Amino acid sequence: MLRSREAMRIYLDHNATTPPAPEVVEAVGRAMGGIFGNPSSVHAFGQEARAALEQARAEVAGLIGAAASEIVLTGGGTEADNFALRGVASALEGTDRREIITTAIEHEAVLNTGRALSRRGWTLTLLPVDASGIVAPEALEAAISERTALVSVMHANNEIGTVQPVEPLARIARAHGAVMHTDAVQSVGKIPVDVHALGVDLLSLSGHKFYGPKGTGALWIRRGTRLGPVLTGGRQERNRRAGTENLPGVVGLGVASALARGKQPAEADRLRELRDRLERGILDRVPGAAVNGAPEPRVPNTTNISFDRIEAESLLIALDLEGIAVSTGSACSSGTLEPSHVLKAMGLGPSRAQSSLRFSLGAVNTHEDVDRVLEVLPGAVEKLRRLTRSAVVV
Ligand code: PLP
Protein backbone atom coordinates (compact mmCIF):
# COMPACT_ATOMS: atom_id res chain seq x y z
CA MET A 1 0.00 0.00 0.00
CA LEU A 2 1.13 3.54 -0.75
CA ARG A 3 1.38 5.44 2.49
CA SER A 4 1.43 9.10 3.31
CA ARG A 5 1.16 8.58 7.04
CA GLU A 6 4.47 7.41 8.33
CA ALA A 7 4.02 8.21 12.00
CA MET A 8 1.27 10.68 11.14
CA ARG A 9 3.18 12.34 8.33
CA ILE A 10 0.96 13.69 5.57
CA TYR A 11 2.34 14.17 2.08
CA LEU A 12 0.73 16.96 0.06
CA ASP A 13 3.51 17.61 -2.44
CA HIS A 14 2.66 15.25 -5.31
CA ASN A 15 3.48 17.86 -7.95
CA ALA A 16 7.09 17.73 -6.75
CA THR A 17 7.16 13.96 -6.93
CA THR A 18 4.98 10.94 -6.17
CA PRO A 19 5.80 7.84 -4.16
CA PRO A 20 6.28 4.99 -6.66
CA ALA A 21 3.35 2.58 -6.80
CA PRO A 22 4.08 -0.81 -5.17
CA GLU A 23 3.59 -2.48 -8.57
CA VAL A 24 6.26 -0.15 -9.97
CA VAL A 25 8.70 -0.93 -7.16
CA GLU A 26 8.17 -4.63 -7.69
CA ALA A 27 8.58 -4.43 -11.49
CA VAL A 28 11.73 -2.29 -11.27
CA GLY A 29 13.24 -4.74 -8.77
CA ARG A 30 12.36 -7.68 -10.96
CA ALA A 31 13.84 -6.04 -14.06
CA MET A 32 16.96 -4.97 -12.17
CA GLY A 33 17.54 -8.48 -10.86
CA GLY A 34 16.33 -10.53 -13.78
CA ILE A 35 16.77 -8.67 -17.05
CA PHE A 36 20.32 -7.47 -17.40
CA GLY A 37 20.80 -7.82 -21.17
CA ASN A 38 21.48 -4.83 -23.37
CA PRO A 39 18.38 -4.19 -25.51
CA SER A 40 20.69 -3.56 -28.49
CA SER A 41 22.35 -7.00 -28.23
CA VAL A 42 21.37 -9.63 -30.77
CA HIS A 43 21.50 -12.67 -28.46
CA ALA A 44 18.68 -14.00 -26.29
CA PHE A 45 19.64 -11.84 -23.28
CA GLY A 46 19.39 -8.77 -25.47
CA GLN A 47 16.13 -9.90 -27.00
CA GLU A 48 14.59 -10.38 -23.58
CA ALA A 49 15.58 -6.84 -22.62
CA ARG A 50 14.32 -5.50 -25.95
CA ALA A 51 10.94 -7.15 -25.41
CA ALA A 52 10.62 -5.56 -21.96
CA LEU A 53 11.64 -2.18 -23.37
CA GLU A 54 9.13 -2.33 -26.20
CA GLN A 55 6.34 -3.47 -23.92
CA ALA A 56 6.99 -0.48 -21.67
CA ARG A 57 7.09 1.86 -24.66
CA ALA A 58 3.71 0.54 -25.80
CA GLU A 59 2.25 1.24 -22.34
CA VAL A 60 3.57 4.80 -22.38
CA ALA A 61 2.14 5.30 -25.88
CA GLY A 62 -1.23 3.88 -24.77
CA LEU A 63 -1.46 6.39 -21.94
CA ILE A 64 -1.35 9.35 -24.36
CA GLY A 65 -3.11 7.88 -27.40
CA ALA A 66 0.11 7.63 -29.40
CA ALA A 67 1.89 5.06 -31.56
CA ALA A 68 4.75 3.31 -29.77
CA SER A 69 7.14 4.09 -32.65
CA GLU A 70 6.72 7.82 -31.92
CA ILE A 71 7.85 7.57 -28.27
CA VAL A 72 11.47 8.39 -27.40
CA LEU A 73 12.33 7.35 -23.85
CA THR A 74 14.31 9.95 -21.92
CA GLY A 75 15.87 10.45 -18.53
CA GLY A 76 12.89 12.49 -17.29
CA GLY A 77 10.79 15.55 -18.04
CA THR A 78 13.66 18.00 -18.12
CA GLU A 79 15.45 15.99 -20.76
CA ALA A 80 12.26 15.64 -22.81
CA ASP A 81 11.77 19.44 -22.71
CA ASN A 82 15.41 20.03 -23.65
CA PHE A 83 15.05 17.55 -26.49
CA ALA A 84 11.95 19.36 -27.80
CA LEU A 85 13.44 22.85 -27.73
CA ARG A 86 17.03 22.04 -28.64
CA GLY A 87 15.94 19.39 -31.14
CA VAL A 88 13.75 21.83 -33.08
CA ALA A 89 16.45 24.52 -32.82
CA SER A 90 19.10 22.21 -34.26
CA ALA A 91 16.82 20.98 -37.06
CA LEU A 92 15.81 24.51 -38.10
CA GLU A 93 19.14 26.24 -37.42
CA GLY A 94 19.83 27.11 -41.04
CA THR A 95 16.33 28.38 -41.88
CA ASP A 96 14.59 31.75 -41.48
CA ARG A 97 12.59 30.41 -38.57
CA ARG A 98 14.62 31.65 -35.63
CA GLU A 99 12.06 32.34 -32.93
CA ILE A 100 10.77 30.29 -30.02
CA ILE A 101 7.52 31.34 -28.39
CA THR A 102 6.73 30.06 -24.93
CA THR A 103 5.00 31.44 -21.84
CA ALA A 104 6.06 33.30 -18.72
CA ILE A 105 4.71 30.48 -16.53
CA GLU A 106 6.62 27.49 -17.91
CA HIS A 107 8.75 25.21 -15.79
CA GLU A 108 12.45 26.14 -15.72
CA ALA A 109 13.16 23.12 -17.92
CA VAL A 110 11.56 25.06 -20.79
CA LEU A 111 12.28 28.63 -19.67
CA ASN A 112 15.99 28.16 -19.03
CA THR A 113 16.44 26.09 -22.18
CA GLY A 114 14.76 28.88 -24.15
CA ARG A 115 17.05 31.40 -22.46
CA ALA A 116 20.11 29.29 -23.32
CA LEU A 117 19.01 29.21 -26.97
CA SER A 118 18.40 32.96 -26.92
CA ARG A 119 22.07 33.41 -26.01
CA ARG A 120 22.86 31.53 -29.21
CA GLY A 121 20.93 33.89 -31.42
CA TRP A 122 17.38 32.58 -31.12
CA THR A 123 14.63 35.08 -30.39
CA LEU A 124 12.73 34.07 -27.27
CA THR A 125 9.22 35.45 -26.84
CA LEU A 126 7.31 34.89 -23.59
CA LEU A 127 3.53 35.08 -23.79
CA PRO A 128 1.94 36.79 -20.77
CA VAL A 129 -0.86 35.51 -18.57
CA ASP A 130 -3.41 37.42 -16.53
CA ALA A 131 -4.47 36.72 -12.93
CA SER A 132 -6.21 33.53 -14.09
CA GLY A 133 -2.86 31.96 -14.94
CA ILE A 134 -4.16 30.94 -18.36
CA VAL A 135 -2.57 31.87 -21.69
CA ALA A 136 -4.98 33.50 -24.16
CA PRO A 137 -4.85 32.13 -27.74
CA GLU A 138 -5.14 35.77 -28.90
CA ALA A 139 -1.74 36.46 -27.32
CA LEU A 140 -0.19 33.74 -29.47
CA GLU A 141 -2.07 34.96 -32.54
CA ALA A 142 -0.58 38.43 -31.98
CA ALA A 143 2.98 37.18 -31.44
CA ILE A 144 3.40 34.40 -34.02
CA SER A 145 4.92 34.98 -37.45
CA GLU A 146 6.58 33.15 -40.30
CA ARG A 147 9.79 33.44 -38.27
CA THR A 148 8.43 31.26 -35.48
CA ALA A 149 10.05 27.83 -35.35
CA LEU A 150 8.48 26.47 -32.18
CA VAL A 151 5.63 27.23 -29.80
CA SER A 152 5.95 25.56 -26.40
CA VAL A 153 3.07 25.88 -23.93
CA MET A 154 2.72 23.65 -20.90
CA HIS A 155 -0.46 21.61 -20.53
CA ALA A 156 -0.90 21.99 -16.75
CA ASN A 157 1.02 24.42 -14.60
CA ASN A 158 3.03 22.83 -11.79
CA GLU A 159 2.44 25.63 -9.25
CA ILE A 160 -1.22 26.55 -9.64
CA GLY A 161 -2.53 23.61 -11.67
CA THR A 162 -4.27 25.62 -14.39
CA VAL A 163 -4.77 23.77 -17.66
CA GLN A 164 -3.79 25.71 -20.75
CA PRO A 165 -5.88 25.80 -23.96
CA VAL A 166 -3.31 23.70 -25.80
CA GLU A 167 -5.62 22.60 -28.59
CA PRO A 168 -6.50 26.08 -29.93
CA LEU A 169 -2.89 27.18 -29.38
CA ALA A 170 -1.67 24.21 -31.41
CA ARG A 171 -4.06 25.08 -34.22
CA ILE A 172 -2.60 28.59 -34.40
CA ALA A 173 0.99 27.31 -34.27
CA ARG A 174 0.49 24.74 -36.97
CA ALA A 175 -1.44 27.19 -39.20
CA HIS A 176 1.73 29.30 -39.18
CA GLY A 177 3.99 26.34 -39.94
CA ALA A 178 5.51 26.28 -36.44
CA VAL A 179 6.14 23.11 -34.45
CA MET A 180 3.94 22.83 -31.32
CA HIS A 181 5.30 21.36 -28.10
CA THR A 182 3.52 20.88 -24.83
CA ASP A 183 5.11 20.05 -21.51
CA ALA A 184 2.50 17.65 -20.14
CA VAL A 185 4.59 16.61 -17.14
CA GLN A 186 1.92 17.82 -14.70
CA SER A 187 -1.14 16.64 -16.62
CA VAL A 188 -0.29 13.08 -17.65
CA GLY A 189 -1.91 10.71 -15.18
CA LYS A 190 -4.08 13.50 -13.68
CA ILE A 191 -6.42 14.32 -16.58
CA PRO A 192 -6.96 12.67 -19.97
CA VAL A 193 -4.07 13.44 -22.33
CA ASP A 194 -4.39 12.49 -25.98
CA VAL A 195 -1.72 13.75 -28.35
CA HIS A 196 -4.10 13.82 -31.33
CA ALA A 197 -6.92 15.57 -29.47
CA LEU A 198 -4.40 18.19 -28.33
CA GLY A 199 -3.11 18.54 -31.89
CA VAL A 200 0.51 19.02 -30.83
CA ASP A 201 3.69 17.77 -32.53
CA LEU A 202 5.76 17.11 -29.40
CA LEU A 203 4.73 16.20 -25.85
CA SER A 204 6.91 15.71 -22.75
CA LEU A 205 6.06 13.50 -19.79
CA SER A 206 7.85 12.40 -16.64
CA GLY A 207 7.45 9.08 -14.80
CA HIS A 208 7.95 10.29 -11.25
CA LYS A 209 4.95 12.61 -11.44
CA PHE A 210 2.57 9.65 -11.81
CA TYR A 211 3.95 7.03 -9.42
CA GLY A 212 6.77 5.86 -11.69
CA PRO A 213 10.54 5.96 -11.10
CA LYS A 214 12.51 9.20 -11.00
CA GLY A 215 14.78 9.83 -13.96
CA THR A 216 12.33 8.33 -16.45
CA GLY A 217 10.24 10.08 -19.05
CA ALA A 218 9.47 10.39 -22.70
CA LEU A 219 9.10 12.77 -25.59
CA TRP A 220 6.32 11.93 -28.02
CA ILE A 221 7.30 13.04 -31.52
CA ARG A 222 4.63 13.20 -34.21
CA ARG A 223 5.80 11.30 -37.25
CA GLY A 224 7.45 13.67 -39.71
CA THR A 225 8.45 16.33 -37.14
CA ARG A 226 11.94 17.66 -37.84
CA LEU A 227 14.03 17.24 -34.73
CA GLY A 228 17.79 16.95 -34.28
CA PRO A 229 19.19 14.64 -31.59
CA VAL A 230 20.44 16.13 -28.34
CA LEU A 231 22.35 13.12 -27.07
CA THR A 232 24.58 11.75 -29.81
CA GLY A 233 26.37 8.42 -29.78
CA GLY A 234 24.90 4.99 -30.49
CA ARG A 235 21.81 4.20 -32.51
CA GLN A 236 19.38 3.68 -29.64
CA GLU A 237 15.83 5.03 -29.83
CA ARG A 238 15.87 5.02 -33.65
CA ASN A 239 18.91 7.27 -33.68
CA ARG A 240 17.09 9.92 -31.70
CA ARG A 241 18.53 9.49 -28.20
CA ALA A 242 21.87 7.76 -27.82
CA GLY A 243 22.83 5.74 -24.75
CA THR A 244 21.98 2.33 -23.34
CA GLU A 245 18.44 2.53 -22.02
CA ASN A 246 17.67 2.62 -18.29
CA LEU A 247 15.81 -0.66 -18.56
CA PRO A 248 14.59 -1.09 -14.94
CA GLY A 249 13.42 2.53 -14.94
CA VAL A 250 11.70 2.15 -18.28
CA VAL A 251 9.96 -1.02 -17.12
CA GLY A 252 8.74 0.94 -14.07
CA LEU A 253 7.57 3.77 -16.33
CA GLY A 254 5.60 1.25 -18.38
CA VAL A 255 3.90 -0.17 -15.31
CA ALA A 256 3.13 3.33 -13.99
CA SER A 257 1.63 4.23 -17.39
CA ALA A 258 -0.62 1.16 -17.41
CA LEU A 259 -1.75 1.91 -13.84
CA ALA A 260 -2.42 5.57 -14.62
CA ARG A 261 -4.47 4.65 -17.66
CA GLY A 262 -6.67 2.36 -15.60
CA LYS A 263 -7.06 4.59 -12.56
CA GLN A 264 -7.04 8.14 -13.90
CA PRO A 265 -10.77 8.93 -14.33
CA ALA A 266 -11.90 7.62 -10.92
CA GLU A 267 -8.82 8.94 -9.15
CA ALA A 268 -9.38 12.39 -10.66
CA ASP A 269 -12.90 12.46 -9.19
CA ARG A 270 -11.64 11.31 -5.80
CA LEU A 271 -8.83 13.88 -5.70
CA ARG A 272 -11.04 16.71 -6.91
CA GLU A 273 -13.41 16.06 -4.04
CA LEU A 274 -10.57 15.98 -1.50
CA ARG A 275 -8.87 19.06 -2.98
CA ASP A 276 -12.10 21.04 -3.06
CA ARG A 277 -12.88 20.12 0.54
CA LEU A 278 -9.39 21.16 1.60
CA GLU A 279 -9.61 24.42 -0.35
CA ARG A 280 -13.07 25.33 0.95
CA GLY A 281 -12.08 24.35 4.46
CA ILE A 282 -9.04 26.62 4.39
CA LEU A 283 -10.94 29.57 2.91
CA ASP A 284 -13.69 29.13 5.53
CA ARG A 285 -11.36 28.79 8.51
CA VAL A 286 -8.46 31.13 7.71
CA PRO A 287 -9.19 34.85 7.32
CA GLY A 288 -7.11 36.45 4.57
CA ALA A 289 -6.68 33.23 2.57
CA ALA A 290 -7.22 33.38 -1.20
CA VAL A 291 -6.82 30.88 -4.04
CA ASN A 292 -4.35 31.86 -6.76
CA GLY A 293 -5.35 31.37 -10.38
CA ALA A 294 -8.55 30.27 -12.06
CA PRO A 295 -10.42 27.50 -10.27
CA GLU A 296 -11.13 25.87 -13.65
CA PRO A 297 -9.79 24.43 -15.86
CA ARG A 298 -7.37 23.01 -13.31
CA VAL A 299 -5.83 19.60 -12.63
CA PRO A 300 -7.91 18.01 -9.88
CA ASN A 301 -5.16 17.58 -7.29
CA THR A 302 -3.70 21.10 -6.98
CA THR A 303 -4.54 24.25 -5.10
CA ASN A 304 -2.30 27.25 -4.52
CA ILE A 305 -3.36 29.51 -1.68
CA SER A 306 -1.95 32.75 -0.37
CA PHE A 307 -2.18 33.67 3.31
CA ASP A 308 -2.27 37.38 3.98
CA ARG A 309 0.59 38.64 6.23
CA ILE A 310 2.27 35.24 6.29
CA GLU A 311 5.68 34.31 5.01
CA ALA A 312 5.00 31.06 3.16
CA GLU A 313 8.37 29.61 4.07
CA SER A 314 7.59 30.00 7.81
CA LEU A 315 4.19 28.37 7.40
CA LEU A 316 5.74 25.54 5.42
CA ILE A 317 8.16 24.87 8.26
CA ALA A 318 5.43 25.13 10.90
CA LEU A 319 3.36 22.56 8.97
CA ASP A 320 6.38 20.33 8.47
CA LEU A 321 6.91 20.29 12.23
CA GLU A 322 3.34 18.97 12.45
CA GLY A 323 4.20 16.29 9.88
CA ILE A 324 2.45 17.97 6.96
CA ALA A 325 4.50 18.35 3.77
CA VAL A 326 3.49 21.12 1.35
CA SER A 327 5.55 23.43 -0.82
CA THR A 328 5.98 27.03 -1.82
CA GLY A 329 5.92 27.86 -5.47
CA SER A 330 9.09 29.85 -4.99
CA ALA A 331 12.56 28.75 -5.90
CA CYS A 332 15.38 29.45 -3.52
CA SER A 333 18.14 30.92 -5.59
CA SER A 334 21.54 31.89 -4.20
CA GLY A 335 20.24 32.05 -0.65
CA THR A 336 17.56 34.63 -1.37
CA LEU A 337 13.91 33.71 -1.57
CA GLU A 338 12.68 34.76 -4.98
CA PRO A 339 8.93 35.14 -5.43
CA SER A 340 7.51 32.53 -7.79
CA HIS A 341 7.90 33.55 -11.45
CA VAL A 342 4.45 32.05 -12.11
CA LEU A 343 2.65 34.15 -9.49
CA LYS A 344 4.67 37.19 -10.55
CA ALA A 345 3.63 36.67 -14.19
CA MET A 346 0.00 36.54 -12.99
CA GLY A 347 0.44 40.04 -11.60
CA LEU A 348 0.54 39.11 -7.92
CA GLY A 349 2.65 41.50 -5.89
CA PRO A 350 5.77 40.16 -4.14
CA SER A 351 4.12 40.02 -0.71
CA ARG A 352 1.21 37.93 -1.96
CA ALA A 353 3.51 35.73 -4.05
CA GLN A 354 5.71 35.14 -1.02
CA SER A 355 2.75 34.21 1.13
CA SER A 356 1.58 31.37 -1.11
CA LEU A 357 1.63 27.64 -0.55
CA ARG A 358 0.93 24.81 -2.97
CA PHE A 359 -1.04 21.80 -1.79
CA SER A 360 -0.86 18.93 -4.28
CA LEU A 361 -2.76 15.77 -3.43
CA GLY A 362 -2.30 12.24 -4.68
CA ALA A 363 -2.99 8.54 -4.32
CA VAL A 364 -1.81 8.43 -0.72
CA ASN A 365 -4.21 11.06 0.60
CA THR A 366 -7.46 10.45 2.44
CA HIS A 367 -10.25 12.43 4.07
CA GLU A 368 -8.41 12.04 7.38
CA ASP A 369 -5.42 13.87 5.89
CA VAL A 370 -7.64 16.78 4.87
CA ASP A 371 -9.23 16.82 8.35
CA ARG A 372 -5.80 16.94 9.96
CA VAL A 373 -4.62 19.84 7.79
CA LEU A 374 -7.81 21.75 8.54
CA GLU A 375 -7.23 21.10 12.24
CA VAL A 376 -3.60 22.28 12.24
CA LEU A 377 -3.38 25.01 9.63
CA PRO A 378 -5.65 27.76 11.07
CA GLY A 379 -3.78 27.66 14.38
CA ALA A 380 -0.39 27.71 12.66
CA VAL A 381 -1.39 30.77 10.61
CA GLU A 382 -2.78 32.54 13.69
CA LYS A 383 0.39 31.82 15.67
CA LEU A 384 2.64 33.18 12.91
CA ARG A 385 0.52 36.31 12.60
CA ARG A 386 0.71 36.85 16.36
CA LEU A 387 4.49 36.46 16.25
CA THR A 388 4.77 38.93 13.37
CA ARG A 389 2.56 41.44 15.25
CA SER A 390 4.61 41.18 18.41
CA ALA A 391 7.86 41.43 16.44
CA VAL A 392 6.57 44.67 14.92
CA VAL A 393 5.56 46.01 18.36
CA VAL A 394 9.01 45.21 19.80
N1 PLP B 1 7.97 20.30 -16.42
C2 PLP B 1 7.13 20.49 -15.41
C3 PLP B 1 5.84 21.23 -15.65
C4 PLP B 1 7.44 20.01 -14.14
O5 PLP B 1 6.60 20.23 -13.13
C6 PLP B 1 8.66 19.32 -13.95
C7 PLP B 1 9.06 18.86 -12.61
O8 PLP B 1 8.74 19.46 -11.61
C9 PLP B 1 9.50 19.13 -15.06
C10 PLP B 1 9.13 19.63 -16.27
C11 PLP B 1 10.80 18.41 -14.93
O12 PLP B 1 10.59 17.02 -14.87
P13 PLP B 1 11.71 16.06 -14.24
O14 PLP B 1 11.69 16.27 -12.77
O15 PLP B 1 11.27 14.69 -14.64
O16 PLP B 1 13.01 16.43 -14.87
Does residue 23 carry a pLDDT above 80?
A: yes
Percent of residues, the chain, with pLDDT higher than 90: 93
Q: What is the structure's pLDDT at 230?
A: 93
- Burial grade of 365 (CB within 10 A; 0-12, 13-18, 19 or more): buried
| Gap from CA of 125 to ligand 1 centroid (Å) | 21
* pLDDT score, position 290: 98
Torsion over CA of 93, 98, 99 and 100, rounded to 10 degrees? 0
* 206 CA: nearest ligand 1 atom: 15
**What is the model's pLDDT at position 3?**
53
Residue 334: its pLDDT value, please?
36
**Does the beta carbon of 78 sit less than 6 angstroms from any atom of ligand 1?**
yes
Q: Where are the domains of the chain?
A: 2-20+264-393, 22-263
Catalytic residue among 332, 347, 367, 389: 332
Task: Using the atom order of ligand 1, give the atom closest to the CA of residue 208.
Answer: 15
332 belongs to the catalytic site:
yes
Contact 10, 364 (CB under 8 A): no
Tell which atom from ligand 1 comes closest to the C-alpha of 106: 3
CB environment 231-263: b (16+ within 10 A), e (fewer): beeeebbeebbeeebbbbbbbbbbbbbbbbbeb
d(CA 344, ligand 1 centre) in Å: 20
Assigned fold of 22-263: Aspartate Aminotransferase; domain 2 (3.40.640)
Q: Is the CB–ligand 1 distance for residue 206 below 6 Å?
A: yes
Minimum mean pLDDT range among 2-16, 51-65, 108-122: 2-16
Distance of CA 288 to the CA centre of its chain: 29
Smallest CA-to-CA distance from 162 within 351, 292, 357, 11 is with 292
Q: 21 and 2 in contact (C-beta within 8 Å)?
A: yes
Q: What whole-number distance in Å separates Cα of residue 328 and Cα of residue 133? A: 17
Q: Pairing mode, if any, of strands 71-74 and 99-103?
A: unpaired
Checking if the pLDDT of 156 tops 80, the result is yes
pLDDT surpasses 60 at 214? yes
Q: Stretch 30-56: mean pLDDT, rounded?
A: 97
**Residue nearest to ligand 1 atom 9, measured at CA:** 77
**pLDDT given at position 392:** 60
The answer, yes or no, to whether any atom of ligand 1 lies below 6 A from the CB of 154, is: yes
Question: Would the CATH topology of 2-20+264-393 be identical to that of 22-263?
Answer: no
Distance between Cα 37 and ligand 1 center (Å): 30
pLDDT digits 0-9 by tens, 220-268? 999 999 999 999 999 999 999 999 999 999 999 999 999 999 999 999 9
Answer for the pair 388, 330: CB distance below 8 angstroms, yes or no.
no
Q: What is the residue-wise DSSP string for 280-327?
A: HHHHHHSTTEEE-S-SSSB-TTEEEEEETT--HHHHHHHHHHTTEE-E
| Separation of CA 63 and ligand 1 centre (Å) | 18
Fill in the DSSP letter of residue 70: G
Average pLDDT, the chain: 95
Measured CA to CA, the distance from residue 291 to residue 348 in angstroms comes to 12
Secondary-structure class of domain 2-20+264-393 per CATH: alpha beta
Res 338: pLDDT: 81
Considering the chain, what percentage of its residues have pLDDT values greater than 70?
95
Mean pLDDT value of segment 288-300: 97
Instruction: State the distance from the centre of ligand 1 to the C-alpha of 218, rounded, in angstroms.
Output: 12
Is 70 exceeded by the pLDDT of residue 125? Answer: yes
> Tens of pLDDT along 83-101?
999 999 999 999 999 999 9
Residues 304-352: tens digit of each pLDDT: 999 999 999 999 999 999 999 999 964 443 344 688 999 999 999 999 9
Q: Which atom of ligand 1 is nearest to the CA of 216?
A: 15
